[in-house]
Structures are given as structure tokens and as C-alpha cells.
Structure 1
Amino acid sequence: MDFTPYLHQLVDEDQQAGLLSVAVDGRVALAMKGRLLLRCFCESLGRQGDIGCAVTDVDSCLVHLERDPYTLLLCTDTLESGNGFDLARRAKTLQPGLNVVVMALKDVIPMEYADAPWLQAVVAEADVIEDHKPLEAAVLAVMGGRSYRSSSLRSGSLPYLSCPRLTPREYEVLDLVANGLTNKEIATQIGVSEETARTYSKRLLRTLEVSNRVQAVLKGMRCGMVNL
């Protein structure tokens, strides 16, 4: 799905995404699995880069890349339709000078892509949860003409993950967050005030021991608590 016409709706002041603080000089393309990831990246980049497209599938992204030049493509390996690694390959064919960072939600690089010269940077989901700023490192690397693999991909070993027990309300809020709802939308959905919904969201982050909503959902996925 192409969310580009609705970019102004993808920014939530309470989001506190904390994913990137890297200024990008040029047009940015986002191809993510789901509204939540799009929203978080838009929140991170909206005031720093020119986001030219925000989509959840390969074909929609390629339409934008065929139409305009881009500086950076950020995508996930799994999309609502298509494969992020294949998107990276096709995007580099369309625009050889394009910089591409792939976030591997499956924490692996498929063998057929492992040594591909066009695959510049890959960040494992597990390393995003650990909050070591691997996405920033990856963007800085590709913008500087270098390649990058986050620590789990380099070592072949995933970090230890503790899975806390959530309350029924926390499960409910996590599911709504995973669907990309803002605190205001969550409040409407569960019949509470926006301030109460904001409190629930903050409590969820503390329980999961993460600092932002993307980390919360990614950790929830890894612990079998939620599907993105």
C-alpha cells in the first residue's frame, strides 16, 4: 500500500521513535512492513529529510523510484507484498547511486544475497531492540560510501532476550501499538482518556524494558506476544 499521500498523518508527537537522528541530504524512500514502522521512520526523518515515498510493498516503491531520483532507501526484508532484499537489488538497478539500508526482521541475510555487491547495509532486528543505534550507524556508513552489517550479523550470535509477563491491558495496548495507532486512537479504541492511554503506553515500554514503540513491537514479536 502507498501511504505517501498521507505522510502528514504518519507523525505522532507522542511517538518518541528514537530510531534515527541522522540528517539526510536528499530524498528518502521508505518501504516498511506495516503502518507502525512507517510512522516511526517518518517521525525520525520528517524534519530532516525529504521523504518522497512511504509504502509497504515493492511495486509501489519501484513506481516512485522510476519517477524521481532518491538519495536513500530504508526498507525491511519482509514487506506486505514482495521481498526487501529483492527491492534493494531492483532499486540499485534503477538508481545505481542510491544508498540502501535493509532492516532484517528475520535477523538473517538469505544465502543468495549474502555476498551481493549491491547489498550495502543490513541491520538485524535483534540489534535494533538492543538500542545500540545500528540503524544510525548503517545510514552513516552507506552515506559515506561504506558497507555495514550490524553486530548480530557479524558475529552470527543473537543477543539474549528476556520476555517479561504482560498484563491483559498491556497485551491490548501492545496489539494496538503494533497496528500503528497513536495514543489518541488507542484512547478511543479502549474507551479511556488520551492521558490514560499515554500512561499505558509508557508503562508498556517500562515493562518490556525498551525505549520506543518500534522496539516494543519488535520485542513483542520475538517473544511471541504480537504479530506485525
Structure 2
Amino acid sequence: MYSLFASLVELLARVLEPVFALSATAAAIVVFTMLVRIAFHPLARAAVRGEKARAALAPQLAVLRKKYAKQPERMQKEILALHAEAKVSPFSGMLPMLVQLPVFFVMYHVFSSAKVGGEVNELLGHRLFAAPLGSRWSDALGDGGVFGAQGVVYLGVFALIACVATWSFRRARRNAASSEFAQLASGAGTSGTAVGAGLFKWLPLLSFGTIVTAAVVPLAAGLYLVTTTAWTVAERAWLQRERPAKAEKAALAGQGAG
């Protein structure tokens, strides 16, 4: 698997070299990540459909939480039964993220290993401007410091991740009030639910944790993180854009019927 991945990246790099020159391998990683996300796009669409289906169950969930507020075990059982009856999985939204983990680990391994498939790993010497793709931020700090030639590359990567995280954070907070988890938070009747409400309030901040991850993994893996997180935010914004459009059409249809 590692050899196959390295071969694909090298092939893409050769194709992109006339345009990106010495940074062709870095560009190949970005293109490879986008191809992976295109392949997983049906899962993302299914996840958004699942979110819409769970949102439709919100009124019934609110009734169950109120009815069984003093019986948390019964409440959980009834909520699971409702999801099963509606054929909606409360965890379907996690699938697109989980299927990407093996790709990230392969990327991490290839750019952390001196050999791939028994041969010298030449990818480690490829660069994004002045920074080797197999290096980490600690290496950049030891070679010129924060504002050195390598350090500036990492600052650019961190800035991109911060921009994507900020966008993601604002969208998450804006959509929080209408989400299923916010419905759970607002109906807090148990200490466990109250804790869940508190966690949900700060959950969007986890997107900024990607900066920490990018600082400790090889630069190539950091490029993967930048690309995949940006894709995720843009993809979800595009898929969820249908909600207000459909709502407006339904309202206009209702007015016309009246």
C-alpha cells in the first residue's frame, strides 16, 4: 500500500512538474487529496441526508426527552428505537471522517520512513518551497527559526488552517441552534445531558486543533490536513445550501396554493 501511494504521488508530481517545478510533489499531494475526497463525496452526501433526517425527528425527540426526563435509561432506549424505526443512524455523519483516517496514516508513514517498499524514500527530499516534505515544524525552528525560510512555509500552512477553522467555527455556531444536538442541549434534564450541552457549545473549537496536529506531523501530512479540511467545509456549505432554497420554494408554493 505504501509503495502504491508513493508511486501515485510520484506520477502526479511528474505530470505537474512543468507548472510547479520543485514544488510539484507538494502540488501532487494536494491533487491526490482532492481525488480522494471526490471518491468519498457520496458518503458526504449521505451524511448530509442523514443530518436532515435527524433534524426531521427533532420534535419527536423533544417529546421523548420531556416524557422520560426522570428515566434516562428509558429515554435512551426510546430515542434509539425512534432512530431505528425511521432508519436513521445517529452516527452516520462520522463515516466520511473515519474513512479518511487510513489515507492520512499512509501519508504520515510514507513521509516519516527512510525506506518505502525496501527502497530509499526519495519523496522525503522533495520540498514545498524551502521546506522538505518529510520535515516537521521543529526542524524548521532549528534551521532559521520561526521566520526562517522553512519557518515561513509552516506559518503559511498554519495561516491557511486557521482561516479554514475560523470559517468552520462560524458556520458551526450559526447552525448550532437548529441542530439535533442543540435540541438535546436545550432540553437538558439530566446531568449527563447538561455535560453534553457544554461540550457541544465548545465542540467547534476542535477545528483549531488541526493546527497543533500540522505542527507535529511531516509537512506532507500537514498539506493533506489543509486540503481535506478546506474541502470538508466547502463541501458541506455546498451540500447544505439546498436547505434555504427548498424552504423558500415550499413557502412560495404554499402561498400560491393559498
TM-score normalised by the chain length of structure 2: 0.23
Which of these two proteins has the greater Rg computed from alpha carbons?
2
Indicate the structure whose relative CO is greater, using CA pairs within 8 Å and at least 6 residues apart: 2
Which structure has more strand as a fraction of its residues?
Answer: 1
